Structure 1
Amino acid sequence: MSPAVEIAVEDLAGLEVAALAGADRIELCQDLDLGGTTPAPELVEQAVRRARELVAARDAKPHLDVHVLIRPRASSADFLGRPAEFAADADAIERMVDQAAAVVDAGAAGVVLGVLTEAGELDLPALEAVRDSALLAAQRAGRGLTLTLHRAVDAMPSREARVAAVQAAIGLGIHRVLSSGGQARALDGADDLSAMVDAAEDLVEICAGGGVRPADVVDLVRRSGVGSVHLSARRRPGAPVEPDAPETLTDPAIVAAAVDAAGEL
């Protein structure tokens, strides 16, 4: 089976572009320049509604759904080796708990979460609190929910720490781990990603994300064995824009190229 292609977007126009170009999954967030923060529940509700409309009209893949990042703050997109970027005090944890419930109430099919200690280990009590809040909201709505552990794992100090995080994710009931293998570009972290895939034992999906370009997809998947790839597919500065193109940074040509590359596998 070809790897799934997940596109990170921060607006409805970006969702439409990604869906029409063949994306399998959407991660909705804000502040992509900083690595992403949680969008407003109103935007989540609008995005879920639009995704359903596109699926109903057969303009998107039938399994297209919207997953939402749970991260209340971000100070820099350069978080490699900086676990403090994902550490949270009691107030931040409470905010994430509330955000997780709110986005699931708004219709999100999944939440993307991650909390570390200052030492760079998974903050298990915090993760459990956010997880439980999201799952309770899904239970109230009578539907399932997908849980993804995000690139906080790339701020960890070593491959061994990321492998341990994958093993912990299994115990937490997490379905997917998003990682670049601790590198700025997932292709450069392919060996770490491969170790994470082995540790997952097919119980958790490893999704490669971080500096992924369409030209990387085939080599990245073959070297690492990941089940999906994640990219923002943002238009490069100065790239030509068609007169009737929607106002979004999501580039349909980049999405389509990533989807085509994944289809070769």
Structure 2
Amino acid sequence: MSLLKIEVAVEDLAGLEVAAAAGADRVELCTDLARGGTTPPAELIDRCVRRARELVAAREAKPGFDVHVLIRPRATTCDFLGRPEEFVADADEVALMAEQAAEAVDAGAAGVVLGVLTPEGDLDVPALETVRDAALIAAQRSARGLVLTLHRAADAMPGRDARTAAVLTALGLGFHRVLSSGGAARALDGAEDLAAMVDAGEGIIDVCAGGGVRPADVVDLARRTGVMDVHLSARRRPGAPVEPGAPDTLTDPAIVAAAVDAAGEL
């Protein structure tokens, strides 16, 4: 069994089912993926968590298959590289993110994915602490653990030094994982930055490579960077043929399966 984990960003229940059937290790649930993703409604989180548990129990998904939830109340564009303003949040937005994080955990999410920056492009530590604490308190109520992931806000930072420093800051805040493309449009093009982030984490915090990832990139990404997690949307290309009876979702089972197969080569 490969140690490299495949995470698929999905927007709906059908996408989760496709990812599970194709062998993904987990999903990141969001809405509005075309603009980089926003927080899904609590009802959808609840349905997806319940379905994930059913699929695991029926052995129709990997044993550890679970749902992580993006916490991001607004998104204006998916082109956020070098644009920290996309991840700046005022007091009201931070309070909303804290509420959303707690709701996601109460709905059964195994992890939350979040990130807040200052206008200068640094991690907004007080804001992150507020959202983190709300999520952890909700997890404590349910007497279970919670995985914290710093999302691609890291890619809006000004350079490699800022991203490697963010890994260490995230570690100090109790995060378990950092999702990044290495500051590039495609994670493969950010491989050097990703490798530096992996080195900074010293095996204590994971770095998940995500951003423009295709199945053909998976092996090269892992070998060049040392990441143990790869994130992709696996979205069906516009105009691509849809098989008769295929689920009504943009998540393409062939792309997920190809990524999982690629991970199995390692």
User: 2-side partners of 1:143 and 1:94: how far apart?
Assistant: 23
Do residues 151 (structure 1) and 152 (structure 2) align?
yes
Deviations 1:161-217 (A, max 9, x none): 000000101100000000000000000000000000000011100000000000000
> What amino acid sits opposite 2:112 in the alignment?
V
SS in 1 for 2:67: strand
The residue number in structure 1 matching 2:226 is: 225
User: 1-side partners of 2:198 and 2:67: how far apart?
Assistant: 24
User: 2-side partners of 1:133 and 1:204: how far apart?
Assistant: 21
Moved over 3 A (4+): none
Deviation at 1:2, TM superposition (A): 2.6
> What amino acid sits opposite 1:254 in the alignment?
I
Identical counterparts, % of pairs: 75
Q: Is the 8 A contact 1:28 1:44 kept in 2?
A: yes
Alignment of 1:210-249 (within 5 A): 210-249=211-250
Deviation at 1:238, TM superposition (A): 1.2
User: 2-side partners of 1:2 and 1:136: how far apart?
Assistant: 31
Deviations 1:86-131 (A, max 9, x none): 0000010010010000010000000000000000000000000000
RMSD: 0.5
The residue number in structure 2 matching 1:20 is: 21
User: 1-side partners of 2:121 and 2:228: how far apart?
Assistant: 25
> What amino acid sits opposite 1:239 in the alignment?
A
The residue number in structure 2 matching 1:117 is: 118
SS in 1 for 2:7: strand
User: 2-side partners of 1:164 and 1:210: how far apart?
Assistant: 20
The residue number in structure 1 matching 2:77 is: 76
Normalised to the residue count of structure 1, the TM-score between the two structures is 0.99
> What amino acid sits opposite 1:136 in the alignment?
I
Alignment of 1:127-166 (within 5 A): 127-166=128-167
> What amino acid sits opposite 1:170 in the alignment?
L
User: 2-side partners of 1:142 and 1:2: how far apart?
Assistant: 28
> What amino acid sits opposite 2:245 in the alignment?
D
Structure 1 unaligned blocks of 5 or more: none
Deviation at 1:243, TM superposition (A): 1.1
User: 2-side partners of 1:151 and 1:98: how far apart?
Assistant: 21
The residue number in structure 1 matching 2:44 is: 43
